[in-house]
Amino acid sequence: MIKAGIIGSTGYAGQEIVRILLGHKDVEICWYGSRSYADQAYADIFGNMFELVPDICKGEDLEKLCDQVDVVFTATPQGLCSSLVSEEILSKVKIIDLSADFRIKDAAVYEDWYGLHHPSPQFIEEAVYGLCEINRDAIKKARLVANPGCYPTCSFFSIYPLARAGVIDMKSIIIDAKSGTSGAGRGAKVQNLYCEVNENIKAYGVAGHRHTPEIEEQLSYASGQETLIIFTPHLVPMNRGILVTAYADLKGSYSEEELRQFYIDAYKDESFVRVLKSGVNPETRWVEGSNYTDVNVRLEKRTGRVIMMGAMDNLVKGAAGQAVQNMNLMFGLEETEGLMMPPMFP
């Protein structure tokens, strides 16, 4: 059995890792780390874990934790993992970091967009960007994986086939994205209170959201071209889900059938990316609670532009599910183990 520890186990993504790993036949959770709820019973915090998790939350001592487990998930805010990781720790355990600390290969870009000093830039080059469908072979050999952000994951899957094929102008991309409120985390914030969110939709991070450089960097790798995007996220009054609608100029003349074929070819061997039938648009309700991302593409014949769409659960494929998928690859397990739960509806 693989022994796992979770730092930040009482956040939304951390609790989702717990839920998934409880159904994983090859993993035992040995440590429930939580700075806010240390010494409290995990099931007292999350009633859904009553009689499922008898453990008490412990602190977030990574040095102590790494002597007891094989893998550590850090579901923590930006800056924590990079302040704790060291060569000694990485010699003992594999780390899957759900923050942005090691996603961007240029420390200066990270510091500029996140407003934080990066305390361990020496590990940035080594860290593997944990998008399993693209970096599968590198992840298998990694000891430090940077789990992708939720918006970047859905945006990437929506655009990747056409970026890879070189058929869109990589400086013309506009991404309109909408997310449920769990994407903002479990911390108490006035702007996320029920009365602030309910019956409302709003854009935020306009012309400067910090996921922008992550999306641009990964699409640049995919296309082999410099990529510039306009990325505007929106908060919608639902618990889970991300919907991406992206637009770009085509570099040639293509039919919608030809564009769809790029998607079919790109994802034909992938378990968790589903190319929908022609004319069917992705919806968050059909991926909720699952590790699936649904994608499709439409041609706007009047303007000659392409519309690229994707939907996924921000807490599963956008966070915890993707982290477990990375863990499976890192330990030589079946990539889908523990992740084949069907979407929930209603």
The DSSP code for 94 is: E
The residue assigned the tokens 């035992």 is 28
CA distances for 100 relative to 180, 191, 217, 248, angstroms: 20, 23, 13, 26
Tell me, what's the pLDDT at 84? Answer: 92
What secondary structure does DSSP assign to 250-292, as a single string?
A: BSS---HHHHHHHHHHHHTT-SSEEEPPTTPPP-GGGTTTSS-
Tell me, what's the pLDDT at 64? Answer: 81
Q: How far apart are CA 159 and CA 310, in angstroms?
A: 9
Contacts within 8 Å (CB) and 24+ apart, 295-304: 295/157, 295/158, 295/263, 295/267, 296/260, 296/263, 297/161, 297/162, 297/256, 297/259, 297/260, 297/262, 297/263, 298/256, 299/254, 299/255, 299/256, 299/259, 304/249, 304/250, 304/253
What secondary structure does DSSP assign to 161-224, as a single string?
A: HHHHHT-B-TTSEEEEEEE-GGGG-SS--GGGSHHHHTT--EE-STTT-TTHHHHHHHHHHHHT
Q: How far apart are CA 92 and CA 88, in angstroms?
A: 7
Q: Is 134 helix (H, G, I), strand (E, B) or coil?
A: helix
Residue 33 forms beta bridges with which residues?
7, 58
Interacting residues of 83 by C-beta distance below 8 A, sequence separation 6+: 119, 120
Q: How far apart are CA 74 and CA 230, in angstroms?
A: 29
Tell me, what's the pLDDT at 294? Answer: 98
Burial of 255 (0-12, 13-18, 19+ CB in 10 A): exposed
Active site residue 154: no
Q: Which residues of the chain have pLDDT under 50?
A: none
Tell me, what's the pLDDT at 114? Answer: 96
The DSSP code for 338 is: T
Q: Do residues 235 and 202 touch, judged by C-beta distance below 8 A?
A: yes
Interacting residues of 243 by C-beta distance below 8 A, sequence separation 6+: 154, 177, 178, 282, 283, 284, 309, 310, 311
The DSSP code for 3 is: E
Q: What is the reported pTM?
A: 0.96
Q: Do residues 168 and 299 touch, judged by C-beta distance below 8 A?
A: no
CA 345 to chain centre: 22
The distance between the two most distant Cα atoms of the chain, rounded to a whole number of Å, is: 62
Of 29, 37, 39, 36, residue with least CA distance to 5 = 29
Out of 57, 66, 81, 150, pick the active-site residue.
150
Q: Which domains does the chain have, with CATH numbers?
A: 2-126 (3.40.50.720), 151-314 (3.30.360.10)
What are the tokens at 152? 């970047």
Residue 16 forms beta bridges with which residues?
none
Q: How far apart are CA 15 and CA 83, in angstroms?
A: 23
Please state at what angle helix 150-165 crosses helix 132-140, rounded to 10 degrees. Answer: 100
Q: Determine the length of the chain.
A: 346
Tell me, what's the pLDDT at 331? Answer: 98
> Is omega for the bond preceding 346 within 30 degrees of 0, making it cis?
yes
CB atoms within 10 A of CB 300: 12
